[in-house]
Amino acid sequence: MRNPVIAALVSSAFVSLSLPLQAQAADLLQIYKEALSNDPVYASARAAMVAGEEKVAQGRSGLLPQVAVSGSYFENGLSETPSMPEPNVGYTSFSAHYPQSTYTVQLTQPLFRMANWQQYQIGILSAASTEAQFAQAREDLMLRVAQAYFDVLTAQDTLTSIQANKVAITEQLASAKRNFEVGTTTITDSNEAQSRYDLAVAQELAAQNDLEIKRTALEQIIGKAPADLAPLRAGVKLALPEPAQMDKWVDGAEHENFTVVGQQINVEIAHRTVKMNRAGHYPTADFVAQRQHTNQGGDNILYPPGIANQTAVGVQWNVPIFAGFMTDSKVKESVALEDKARQDLESARRTAAQSARQSYLGVSSGLAQVAAYEAAEVSSQTSLASNQLGYQVGIRINIDVLNAQQQLYNTRQTLAKARYDTIVNGLRLKSAAGSLKEDDLVAVNGLLAH
């Protein structure tokens, strides 16, 4: 009887889809932690945030006192010769050489500089913008890790399915050859099985190559070749994320998505830039305190040696009158850039809303597909068993068994991918709404077989 043998092969071939590949298989959280340390895209975003935080200090500097010391040292030479000596007066000339050193200490405290104040506000907003970009980069890293992780599992499942199908076809091919030798079947059964076997070999090679590509993509994120990955538990149940209302997720995406938040900050930066450029028309006032020290050497009577100290305290002001239309041009430019920032914000909102809708529909549709494929898996198992039995009693031919086997493997493979896609779409939905956290990865990690 060949039926029990084939059934055992079919059953054992898919054990790897529901059990860990090995005891030390890496799970999603372990891969994510490695990505936090090694992913260059995430590291670049973190460095950009650290750099952006310095914009606050740079903007504040325009409001704080400025202290400077300047000085000079000169060796002076002077000579005088009368051009027309007076009659009866001897020809006289004069020369002197003397050193002179000067240094000045000056403190300037801005009293009214509207441009400096706006620059400080822009610095605060710029730092907030880089923080929003970093938060988005962190969410993107979670999505990239999850997508790459489940891409590897999908490729592994595809390879396992093809290899299991090849094993079953090999057994069916051997059975067809034996039956042909004893005269109970025609050569057609052997040819059909041989054709399916050759196709399975080609598919296996392609699946092995695809698996290597997917593992390389994951390696690019974590910086090293990944270990064997923990698969989903057998029969895992998935559910819609809460709240189970698409409009609420869309509303959250339009306001809380980190790209949207970053664009909102950019609009405010553009608005402040307009004010800063308009301040080019405003007067400025500074408090100035200055101390100057001069030391002059030499021994000439006209330039006697001595030390002089001068102190000055007061207010210095400036009123701009005309700057060659530069200020007006900068204002017009910044107004146009503010309008651009508002359009970019609207585009970001629409993109986030569309992403939320697609992801929500992807989750809801994925759950429906999972349920349908689970039912199809049961039906395919029943169909395969029936065809195997019919083949043994002579009412089914070899091609019927091969088709039933192929249908079962394809159904199981598609079912696994539908589960992976549903999980990733759930993460994408939360990212679109700006609410994706590491706890969500922990929840997904709990679905894996450890």
Residue range 89-106: average pLDDT? 78
CA distances from 423 to 17, 232, 301, 347 (A): 16, 11, 95, 27
At 88, the pLDDT band (50, 70, 90 cuts) reads low
Residue range 108-118: average pLDDT? 96
What pLDDT, in 10s, does the model give residues 129-141? 999 999 999 999 9
pLDDT at 369 over 80: yes
Above pLDDT 70, what percent of the chain?
90
CA distances from 19 to 22, 231, 243 (A): 8, 7, 32
pLDDT at 201 over 80: yes
What pLDDT, in 10s, does the model give residues 47-57? 999 999 999 99
The set of residues, in sequence order, having a beta carbon less than 8 Å from that of 144 and lying 6+ positions away, is 35, 39, 41, 221
Q: What is the DSSP letter of 62?
A: G
pLDDT (0 to 100) of residue 18: 41
pLDDT at 23 over 80: no
pLDDT (0 to 100) of residue 188: 77
Residue range 382-401: average pLDDT? 80
At 192, the pLDDT band (50, 70, 90 cuts) reads confident
CA distance 365 to 422: 8
pLDDT (0 to 100) of residue 174: 81
From the list 426, 422, 415, 360, the residue with the least C-alpha distance to 142 is: 426
Higher pLDDT, 299 or 258: 258
Residue range 12-17: average pLDDT? 38
From the list 145, 125, 130, 146, the residue with the least C-alpha distance to 46 is: 130
Residue range 364-390: average pLDDT? 91
Q: Are 432 and 355 in contact (CB under 8 A)?
A: yes
pLDDT (0 to 100) of residue 169: 80
At 2, the pLDDT band (50, 70, 90 cuts) reads very low
pLDDT (0 to 100) of residue 86: 58
pLDDT at 19 over 60: no
CA atoms within 13 A on the CB side of 176: 26
Which strand (E) or helix (H) includes residue 313? strand 306-318
pLDDT at 5 over 70: no
At 406, the pLDDT band (50, 70, 90 cuts) reads confident
Tokens 């650290």, residue?
A: 50
pLDDT (0 to 100) of residue 4: 39
pLDDT at 11 over 60: no
Residue range 9-34: average pLDDT? 61
- DSSP of 118-172, one letter per residue? HHHHHHHHHHHHHHHHHHHHHHHHHHHHHHHHHHHHHHHHHHHHHHHHHHHHHHH
Interior angle at CA 403, CA 397 and CA 405, nearest 5: 105
Residue range 232-240: average pLDDT? 89
CA distance 269 to 257: 18
CA distance 229 to 31: 9
- In terms of Cβ atoms closer than 10 Å to its own Cβ (0-12, 13-18, 19+), residue 427 is buried
What pLDDT, in 10s, does the model give residues 155-181? 999 999 898 888 878 877 787 787 777
Above pLDDT 90, what percent of the chain?
65
Residue range 298-308: average pLDDT? 72
Beta pairing, strands 306-318 & 66-80: unpaired
At 445, the pLDDT band (50, 70, 90 cuts) reads very high
pLDDT (0 to 100) of residue 36: 95
Higher pLDDT, 60 or 192: 60
Give the long-range contacts of residues 310-315, CB within 8 A, separation 24 or more.
312/288, 313/288, 313/289, 314/287, 314/288, 315/111, 315/285, 315/286, 315/287, 315/288
Averaged pLDDT of the chain: 87
pLDDT (0 to 100) of residue 84: 61
At 31, the pLDDT band (50, 70, 90 cuts) reads very high
Least confident of 32-46, 54-68, 82-96, 122-136: 82-96
Question: Which domains are assigned to the chain?
Answer: 3-64+113-281+325-445 (1.20.1600.10)
